[in-house]
Chains A and B, each alone.
Chain A
Amino acid sequence: MPPFPEAARIALANTQLRTNLAHATATIRDKRARVVAEVDDWEELRTAGAATKDRVLLDLDTHLVRLEESLIRAGATVHWARDAEEACRIVADVAKAHHVDEVVKVKSMATQEIGLNEALAQEGISAWETDLAELIVQLGDDLPSHILVPAIHRNRAEIREIFLAGMARAGRPAPEGLDDEPAHLAEAARLHLREKFLRAEVAVSGANFAVAETGTLVVVESEGNGRMCLTLPQVLVSVVGIEKVVPTWADLDVFLQLLPRSSTGERMNPFTSTWTGVTPGDGPQEVHVVLLDNGRTRALADEVGRQALRCIRCSACLNVCPVYERTGGHAYGSVYPGPIGAILNPLLRGVGVDDQVDSLPYASSLCGACYDVCPVKIDIPSVLVDLRAQVVDAHRGGVPRPEAVAMKAAAATFRRPGLLRAAERLTRPGLAVVRRVGASAWTGARDLPPAPKESFRAWWKRTDGGRS
């Protein structure tokens, strides 16, 4: 994956993508703003949500041990996975133990993060996404572009094409004469998916929250496909990031208010499913929970950045981000795009080793819109700046990059006013050179202002501060 600026250039050239994105983000942005404005104590809710998450992160180990005990008591099998490879192996082993060649999945960021579908495919097991937008992405051999609306970059004409071309290959074909009416497209997906739900023996899910006191996992969703996955198949494997734990049921209260309004702009989401281990004769009879680290303890150790682990994946920050709105999600080269992706990826993976990861903290104009909407008050701009400093520090020593040379030179000028005065005398010729070269990143599309006759500093000196 190329660094962000290059990936963004490709995305920016796609005008259809930009139109789709601008339209979709504006719609959901307005919807969110409307329903958030209805809540008088929204700011208090945000503060409470942030505080609960911080409290959990402070004693994460204790809460996780408690969660594990509760899960085992409820009849679930608990697995710990240090990284993506371990997690994928655990899921594959469960599937293989049941001799299946396909599993159904409810959309889950954690399983996307670890590349589960690809890992299962290598073992000859197909993983079928059952979320409508995920299905569109999967059938289109595409990658998700948004946390919540993975097919945000597609319009309905494109979706019809994808269904017609892809459904038959994956199971029940699209109905004949399918047009691009949203209701007809949804019906086609419903028929296609129903066959999958009834056939599958093993399901894979993530979880939005994991309640430590009872060992209960919670999935919040809009379509009901999650509930089908959680109840129909005999075996269920849930892959859950370790930061998803909350101490008690009472703690859910705040999040179930914050999440739907922030994500889909709804007052309440249509489906909230909770499941606790195994209930004889009802739902899955074998439940596995994979508790996933994959860089989370690394992020936790980062004093400024650890607040990113409060994230409840609502995607509000994506929808208000002016950079995301222009480039879409693929440019971020990760399942976590947008502002949260720009900080979460470097935090999970570490900086200084991969140019693509190192480019992400710079994929922001620091406008701050993400911080304003984040329901758990993650100060994304501050984390971005801190990560930039980490990137710079990781590259200190060795041959300095041109940017580092420029920054050092600028800083040297700015530390002494006398030097600055001298440099300013060179401004006019300096600007003339920039203009003549004309190929610099600035002047490619933008004019520079005409060079002033004298700097403010020189004017102040010449006129005694405007008094003469």
Chain B
Amino acid sequence: MVTCINDALVPQTGRAVVTLLRRLGVDVDFPEGQTCCGQPMVNTGYLDEAVPVVRTFVRAFEGYDAVVTPSGSCAGCARHQHAIVARRSDDPAFVAAVEETAPKVFELSEFLVDVLGVEDVGASFPHRVTYHPTCHSLRMLGVGDRPLRLLRAVRGIDLVELPGAEQCCGFGGTFAVKNADTSVAMGADKARHVRSTGAEVLVAGDSSCLMHVGGLLSRERAGVRVMHLAEVLAAQEGT
């Protein structure tokens, strides 16, 4: 599942997922009936509006073995919040369909480590990198150190620890707009910690958080790039 943000704003992340999974021998498809997991509506409280979006999600992915998404946040929404939306519809068939789909949804690092059983994905990325564990990956899904285990196996990487890594970057979906000042204050602290590591690249498993922190780093002309975990894991010598 390519998230709505990845699809429209950072399509290279989706392409990296495809490259990476194919390299590992996975048969990848992109059902064009998909749109969005519905999280923007759910987390802002628009549950009625989320009902048709979640229906579209479930319809697009029925019949697949696994749904892999490069976002802890969207995976968390599918696994924990779709059921709430479905119950709202008073449609038992929809509730059942959600119950069937939800456990098949995996965040990328979970799929690689738990389902495929790989940590070394054959990547090469000779750069100084620091990793931010996004809140929903960390707490809603509990991905633990899976992303770090994957990164440590990357050839040539210089992985440096991010101070205060577990603190929220301040994105939080519509929070970034509704409480823009607080969001920016949180993001500025995150950006400061990133700069303190001397890393060239900030890596995370959620493009939305990267867009927020990356937007601040770019405004500060910090010279730090942001990249999705999938892009680093897809990178190989000469690419």
Interface residues of A (CB under 8 A from B): 4-5, 8-9, 12, 18, 322-323, 326-327, 361-369, 371-372, 381, 385-393, 403-404, 407-408, 410-411, 413-417, 420, 424, 427, 440-442, 444-449, 451-452, 454-457, 459-461, 465-466
Say yes or no: B30 contacts A366, CB within 8 Å: no
B46 touches which of A407, A456, A461 (Cβ 8 Å): A407
Q: List 21 A-B contacts (CB under 8 A).
A: A5-B178, A322-B167, A323-B186, A326-B186, A365-B172, A365-B183, A366-B43, A366-B172, A385-B42, A403-B174, A407-B40, A410-B49, A420-B4, A420-B7, A442-B176, A445-B216, A445-B219, A448-B215, A455-B11, A459-B15, A465-B30
Is B197 among interface residues, defined by CB-CB distance under 8 A? no
Which B residues are within 8 Å of any A CB, using their own CB? 2, 4, 6-12, 14-15, 18-19, 22, 28-30, 32-36, 38, 40-50, 52-53, 55-56, 60, 81, 84, 135-136, 138-140, 166-168, 170-188, 211-212, 214-216, 218-219
Q: Contact: A441 with B180, CB < 8 Å?
A: yes
A366 close to B56 (CB less than 8 A) = no
Q: Chain B CB within 10 Å — which of A322, A413, A416 has the most?
A: A322
A365 and B10 in contact, given A5-B179, A391-B45 (Cβ under 8 angstroms):
no
- A-B pairs with beta carbons under 8 A, tally: 206
Tell me the complex Cα distance, A454–B12, Å: 10
B35 nearest CB across to chain A (Å): 4
A423 closest partner in B (C-beta): B8
Given contacts A5-B178, A456-B8, A456-B30, 16 further A-B contacts (CB under 8 A): A326-B182, A361-B45, A365-B135, A366-B172, A385-B81, A415-B55, A444-B180, A444-B184, A445-B219, A452-B8, A452-B10, A456-B15, A457-B30, A461-B32, A465-B30, A466-B18
Report chain B residues within 8 Å CB of A365. Answer: 135, 168, 170-173, 175, 183, 186
Distance in Å: Cβ of B164 to nearest Cβ of chain A: 9
Cβ A364 vs Cβ B30 within 8 A = no
Whether A411 and B168, one on each chain, are in contact in the complex, defined by CB atoms closer than 8 angstroms, is no
User: How far is A454 from B181 in the complex, measured between Cα atoms in Å?
Assistant: 32
Using known A-B contacts A414-B56, A427-B8, determine if residue A449 contacts B50 with beta carbons closer than 8 Å.
no
* Chain B, residue nearest A10 (CB): B181
Q: Say yes or no: B46 contacts A369, CB within 8 Å.
A: no
When the two chains form their complex, are residues B179 and A363 in contact, meaning their CB atoms are under 8 A apart? yes
Q: Give which listed residue, A362, A415, A444, A454, contacts B178 with CB less than 8 A.
A: A362
Chain B residues with CB under 8 A of A391: 45
Residues of A within 8 A of B49 (CB): 407-408, 410-411
Contacts A365-B170, A388-B44; A446 near B182 (Cβ below 8 A): no
- Choose among A367, A386, A403, A456 the residue that contacts B168 (Cβ–Cβ < 8 A): A367
Say yes or no: A407 contacts B44, CB within 8 Å.
yes
Q: How far is the CA of A36 from the CA of B7 in the complex (A)?
A: 43
Contacting pair B211 A449 (CB below 8 A): yes
Given contacts A365-B170, A411-B46, contact A5 B181 (CB under 8 A): yes
Contact A369 B168, beta carbon cutoff 8 Å: yes
**Closest 10 CB pairs between A and B?**
A365-B172, A388-B45, A446-B215, A367-B168, A368-B139, A411-B49, A456-B11, A367-B135, A392-B45, A415-B52
Which residue in chain A gives the minimum CB-CB distance to B173?
Answer: A366
**Min CB gap A373→B, angstroms:** 11
Of chain A, the residue at the smallest CB distance from B221 is A447
Which B residues are CB-close (under 8 A) to A361? 45
List residues of chain A with CB within 8 A of the CB of B45: 361, 385, 387-393
- Quick one: closest B residue to A410, CB to CB? B40
Which residues of chain A have C-beta atoms less than 8 A from B174's C-beta?
A: 362, 403
B residues near A392, Cβ cutoff 8 Å: 44-47
Smallest beta-carbon distance A380→chain B, Å: 11
